[in-house]
Amino acid sequence: MANKRGIAWPLENKQDSPHLFANAGVGWFYNWSSEKRSDVNLHFVPMYWSASREDPTQFVNKVRSQGAKVILGFNEPERGEQANMSPGDAARVWKQHIEPLANEGIRLGSPSIASTEAGLNWLQAFFNAGCRVDFLALHWYGVGVDNFIHFITKARERFGNKPVWVTEFACTSWNQGQPISQEEINNFFNQSINRLDGIDWIERYAWFGATRHLDAALGSGNCLISSQGTLSELGKIYVNGGSTIGPSQGSRVVALRSNANNKFVCADNFGNNPLIANRDEASDWEKFDLVRINGNEVALKSHANGQYVCAEDGGNGPLIANRSSVDGWETFTMIDRGNGKVAFKAVNGKFVCADDYGNRELAANRDSADAWETFDLV
């Protein structure tokens, strides 16, 4: 596959050109239509937006004439203002006209659904009608990288663990009266693309949007193009193939010795097991980078596997070192308890506890801090 990172290019943007994004960091683009309409040197992926917009035979002929090797399906067909197709109508068109393209070696992307229960149910009915695809195309808008990754992971599991393309995503509250700050957008942007780059079943993704302005509810802070027509700060990062906003302002190596049993906290089995205080000495599995984020907010990066410690399921699950970047579930408030002792409060507002005198896995489940919730920084 080419570079995962792509551009969702809006054809209504007549001011600018997708040539802005022709760089090694970006490998492909689509424009919600079946025609490239640009000579930009990026791999073009045609989309069959809706049967009401384009005759399916015409679409298939264009795909063949372009020599396309992959296509995207209907755009948010569950929504009246988008493709607006019932699962039954979509399935009839799909099976008669689109599925035969697979016999010619063309990969089929599913209809692209919004991140709602209505979208998921529509796609379920589409698959129940016997339609086949090679990968899922998903959209997501909201706040919180963990929420984003949770949605696409659960959608993938529901529909047969197929590869995933995220063809629209951005950070927004959808409330112009309570807009998301640029800092929060920047953090989401960097953390999300790092997470997507690190997940093997994510084949491609496209941030929204490649334009100078977005409506107030979505927020122009998500724009990849500045008001002057140059790449925005987000756009520069996106095109250059990396991220510049890191989670830390400094770090140091520590071991955590539980006051519950005087044992060191261990990311056992190369970090594949939840954290537990069960070691007499501190080696790699018992060492962490204590990463300063902001003030007394910290993250813990395990030396066992290079992953950040996560309070799984918003603090309802055990602590485990399984995240490649830092968001809410990987952020802890470190509270100084004096004499080199600290406590950690997770995203759910609960203190991390070495329960049952340290015999149980660490979990954020205590309202106050006593010995079981206290650790020596060594």
352-373 mean pLDDT: 96
pLDDT category, 241, cuts 50, 70, 90? low
Q: What DSSP string runs through 106-131?
A: -EEBPPBB-SSHHHHHHHHHHHHTT-
Whether 283 maps to a domain, the answer reads yes
Q: Residue 282 is which amino acid?
A: A
Domain count, the chain: 2
> Same domain, yes or no, for 100 and 228?
yes
86-107 mean pLDDT: 98
* C-alpha separations of 84 from 9, 96, 167 in Å: 21, 19, 18
Domain of 27, CATH number, reads 3.20.20.80
Whether 26 maps to a domain, the answer reads yes
> Same domain, yes or no, for 194 and 262?
no
Residue 245 has pLDDT above 50, yes or no: no
Which percentage of the chain shows pLDDT scores above 70?
97
Q: Identify any residues that bridge with 141 across adjacent strands, giving them in sequence order.
A: 170
Each residue's pLDDT tens digit, 170-218: 999 998 888 888 889 998 998 899 889 889 899 999 999 999 999 989 9
163-169 mean pLDDT: 98
Whether 121 maps to a domain, the answer reads yes
> Same domain, yes or no, for 61 and 135?
yes
pLDDT reported for residue 180: 87
> 0.85 exceeded by the pTM?
no
Q: Please identify, among 199, 217, 240, the residue that sits at the C-terminal boundary of a domain.
A: 240
Q: What gap in Å lies between CA 116 and CA 142, rounded to an integer? A: 11
Whether 203 maps to a domain, the answer reads yes
Each residue's pLDDT tens digit, 337-360: 888 899 999 999 999 999 999 999
Whether 161 maps to a domain, the answer reads yes
Q: What gap in Å lies between CA 196 and CA 165, rounded to an integer? A: 10
pLDDT reported for residue 1: 36
> Is there a contact between 40 and 31 (Cβ–Cβ < 8 Å)?
no
> Same domain, yes or no, for 185 and 320?
no
Query: Could you tell me which residue, 126 or 251, shows the higher pLDDT?
Result: 126
pLDDT reported for residue 177: 84
pLDDT reported for residue 328: 86
Whether 362 maps to a domain, the answer reads yes
Q: Please identify, among 197, 220, 240, the residue that sits at the C-terminal boundary of a domain.
A: 240
Q: Please identify, among 240, 272, 307, the residue that sits at the C-terminal boundary of a domain.
A: 240
> Same domain, yes or no, for 232 and 257?
no
> Same domain, yes or no, for 218 and 255?
no
Whether 245 maps to a domain, the answer reads no
Q: Please give the radius of gyration of the chain, using alpha carbons only, rounded to the nearest integer.
A: 24
Each residue's pLDDT tens digit, 267-305: 999 999 999 999 999 998 999 999 888 778 899 999 998
Backbone angles phi, psi at 113, to 5 degrees: -100, 155
Mean pLDDT lowest for which of 135-139, 161-165, 305-309?
Answer: 305-309
- What is the domain extent for residue 275? 250-377
pLDDT reported for residue 248: 39
Q: Who's near 231: CB < 8 A, 6+ residues apart?
A: 20, 224, 225, 239
Whether 107 maps to a domain, the answer reads yes
Residue 252 has pLDDT above 90, yes or no: no
Name all contacts of 97-104 with Cβ < 8 Å and 24+ positions apart: 97/56, 97/57, 97/59, 97/60, 98/48, 98/56, 98/60, 98/71, 98/73, 99/131, 99/132, 100/60, 101/60, 101/63, 101/71, 102/132, 102/134, 104/64
> Same domain, yes or no, for 228 and 258?
no
> Same domain, yes or no, for 155 and 182?
yes
> Same domain, yes or no, for 215 and 267?
no
> Same domain, yes or no, for 287 and 145?
no
pLDDT category, 251, cuts 50, 70, 90? confident
> Is there a contact between 152 and 114 (Cβ–Cβ < 8 Å)?
no
* C-alpha separations of 56 from 33, 51, 52, 363 in Å: 12, 6, 9, 54
Domain of 283, CATH number, reads 2.80.10.50
Residue 42 has pLDDT above 60, yes or no: yes
Number of residues assigned to the chain:
378
> Same domain, yes or no, for 268 and 347?
yes
> Same domain, yes or no, for 70 and 212?
yes
119-144 mean pLDDT: 97
Mean pLDDT lowest for which of 66-75, 78-87, 174-183, 282-291?
Answer: 174-183
Residue 311 has pLDDT above 60, yes or no: yes
Q: What gap in Å lies between CA 297 and CA 332, rounded to an integer? A: 6
Task: Calculate ∠ Cα 80-69-53, nearest 5°.
Answer: 25
Residue 157 has pLDDT above 90, yes or no: yes
Residue 247 has pLDDT above 70, yes or no: no
